[in-house]
Amino acid sequence: RAEQLHALIHESSVTLDGHQVELAANIGVPGDAVIGVAHGAEGVGLFRSEFLFMNRDSLPSEEEQFQAYQEAVQTLDGKPVIIRTMDIGGDKSLDYLQLPAELNPFLGYRAIRISLDREDMFKTQLRAILRASHYGRVKVMYPMIATRDEVVAANEVLEAAKQELRSEGIPFDEDMEVGIMVEIPAAAIAADQLAEVVDFFSIGTNDLIQYTMACDRMNEKVSYLYQPYHPSILRLVKMVIDAAHQHGKWAGMCGEMAGDLNIVPVLVGLGIDELSMSPPSILPVREQIRQSRFEDLQELAAEALRQSTSDAVKNLVVQATD
Ligand code: PEP
Ligand code: MG
């Protein structure tokens, strides 16, 4: 069985009738990139850069960040690496930033909200990412986007970083793609308008489910509401994919749901272009895709969208994969 899976390491993730999806790895530290490649990743779909900022007592310098990003980029050897700008706040605190205690940290000062407020810090990170883009195929992704204004503001800082590098004669990829995480319901609902100002979406279901269901992803008392297969979630996912495609952009997913063998057939049927997951999930998902027909998955997705409860969706998909 393990050998059977291993044989798929260099194969593409394509259905029997020729529909292709990209399977990528989620990584935390640059060294994880090696694990992703060993599991057949076609790219890195989520580099959680905040790990470079944690477990230390000061901000990482531009040079330190550049080296970490460059390491991952070189390991991927020309395959795409999506670097998410730091997602601090919520449950991830940094003592040296002296973030104020908050009543609702998950609704508070976190991720892009901190980056746009601390422009010096943000520009340093963007410079490091841009510099790494010269060594492979880098894409940058902003976390926790709620509004189009935030994207525009972040892109202004990105443009300033590019200007600086140009004037310093430091090379970078002028065509680096810029995308956002769709993990706040507002972004999913207005995805058609956001699609006008980004190159891609990556759906962050871990947070999207928490915010859609108003259910803390860490609180066991309400975990019964944390329902990845809930009709509201499937509808939002469909809206995001459709909005992207209508604007000639692509849509991926990097939450835990992306590696869930039960729901992957539905996601592929909805037209997801890329799935990014923890490395050990990649080959099983690839095997499953290679054994399916896209036409069948499209029908399954349509059927899933007609269900009104998570359990009904679960029954449907479990039957379909039997
Ligand atoms: C998500 O929210 O789905 C996600 C991938 O980001 P994180 O788990 O790092 O919040
Ligand atoms: Mg998230």
204 Cα nearest atom in ligand 1: 3
Q: Which ligand is nearest to the CA of 50?
A: 1
217 assigned ligand-binding residue? yes
- Which of 207, 233, 281 to mutate for ligand 1's pocket (most ligand atoms within 8 Å of CB)? 207
Name which of 3, 82, 98 is nearest 41 in CA terms: 82
Q: What pLDDT was estimated at residue 199?
A: 98
- What φ, ψ does residue 270 adopt, rounded to 5°? -75, -15
**pLDDT tens digit sequence for 190-237:** 999 999 999 999 999 999 999 999 999 889 999 999 999 999 999 999
Predicted confidence at residue 95, as pLDDT, reads 86
Return the pLDDT at 217.
85
Q: What is the pLDDT of residue 1?
A: 82
Q: In this structure, which residue's CA is closest to atom 3 in ligand 1?
A: 204
Taking the C-alpha atoms of residue 270 and residue 258, their distance in angstroms, rounded to an integer, is 13
Q: Which residue minimizes the CA distance to atom 4 of ligand 1?
A: 204
> How far is ligand 2, taken at its centre, from the CA of residue 82, in Å?
14
- Residue 190's SS3 state is coil
From the list 110, 112, 35, the residue with the least C-alpha distance to 75 is 35
Rounded distance from Cα 206 to ligand 2 centre (Å): 6
The confidence score (pLDDT) of residue 321 equals 82
Tokens representing residue 220 in the block: 């066991």
Pocket of ligand 1 (CB under 6 A): 46, 48, 87, 183, 204-207, 254-255
Q: Is the pTM of this model over 0.95?
A: yes
ipTM: 0.99
Nearest residue to 23 (alpha-carbon basis) of 284, 263, 233, 214: 284
Mutate to test the pocket of ligand 1, among 29, 52, 202, 206 (most ligand atoms within 8 A of CB): 206
Regions of the chain short of the pLDDT cut 50 = none
Question: Which atom of ligand 1 is the closest one to the Cα of 206?
Answer: 3
| pLDDT on residue 273 | 98
Task: Give dist(CA 195, CA 25) in Å, integer.
Answer: 24
DSSP 8-state secondary structure symbol assigned to residue 250? E
Distance 204 CA to ligand 1 centre (A): 5
The candidate with the shortest Cα–Cα distance to 172, out of 180, 184, 163, 182, is: 163
Tell me the CA–centroid distance for residue 1 and ligand 2, in Å.
33
